[in-house]
Structure formats: structure tokens, C-alpha cells
Amino acid sequence: MKRKIRILGSEDDDPLSGVANFFDLGIVFALGFLLALVAYLGLPELVLKQEVTLVKNPGTPEMEIIRKTGTRIERYRVSREKLGGEGERLGIAYRLKSGEVLYVPEEPEQK
């Protein structure tokens, strides 16, 4: 039996031949970090295909409402700006002693 002896560097002299493996490894690490970030923030619901509404920091000036409908994600933040304009009264809101807000819609006027 004859054995072929391979001399180092004789067949593959391309120094970039292993770069593709590093690129694949980088993609796997990036995906792992992304999943870890979603899990850390406690927002795995945003990855699922269901409709979700989240309220972060309720009752504080930093309150934020996050709504996911299909693939669209909307963020609403509390604003201290005063608004004005024309419109119609829709109902009355009451703040209870517990801090909850109760909204009572008004009956539409029948003509």
C-alpha cells in the first residue's frame, strides 16, 4: 500500500478559505444575542403571531403602550402637551381612590 504524503500548503494556498465559516458563526451568535435580548426585556409576545397590547410602567410619566397587530408594532408614549381643537364629548372619566380610571361613555343623542 502506498500512502500519499501531503505537503503543507501544496493543495490549498487560499488564506481566505476559512472566512466563510467565521461568517456563519457570526450569524449564529448575532441570532443568539437577539433572542437573549428579547427574553431579557420580557417581550417574547412581540415575536409571536398574535395581537398583543403591553403597558410598560403604568401610572408613571414614563408610561408606554406597545401594540402589535400582525407584523406592525406601534409605540405610544405619555405626553404632557395640551391639545386643543373641535370635537364632541364622548363620555366621562372618573379616577377612583385606588388610582384606577373608570370611563363611562355617553349615550348618543337621538334626533
Q: What's the pLDDT score for residue 31? A: 93
Q: What's the pLDDT score for residue 11? A: 57
Q: CA-CA distance, 67 to 103, in Å (whole number)?
A: 21
Structural domain includes residue 68: yes
Which class for 40: exposed (0-12), middle (13-18), buried (19 or more C-beta within 10 A)?
exposed
Domain that holds residue 49: 45-80
State the chain's mean pLDDT as an integer: 78
Structural domain includes residue 51: yes
Q: CA-CA distance, 54 to 68, in Å (whole number)?
A: 9
Confidence of residue 78 (pLDDT cuts 50, 70, 90): confident
Q: CA-CA distance, 31 to 43, in Å (whole number)?
A: 16
Give the side-chain half-sphere CA count within 13 A for 107: 3
pTM: 0.37
Structural domain includes residue 70: yes
In the predicted model, what is the mean pLDDT of residues 12-33?
81
Confidence of residue 27 (pLDDT cuts 50, 70, 90): very high
- What percent of the chain has a predicted confidence (pLDDT) above 70? 75
Provide the grid cell at 87: 370635537
Residue 34 has pLDDT above 60, yes or no: yes
Structural domain includes residue 73: yes
Strand segments, DSSP code E, in 59-106 are 64-69, 72-77, 91-95, 101-105
Q: How many domains does the chain have?
A: 1
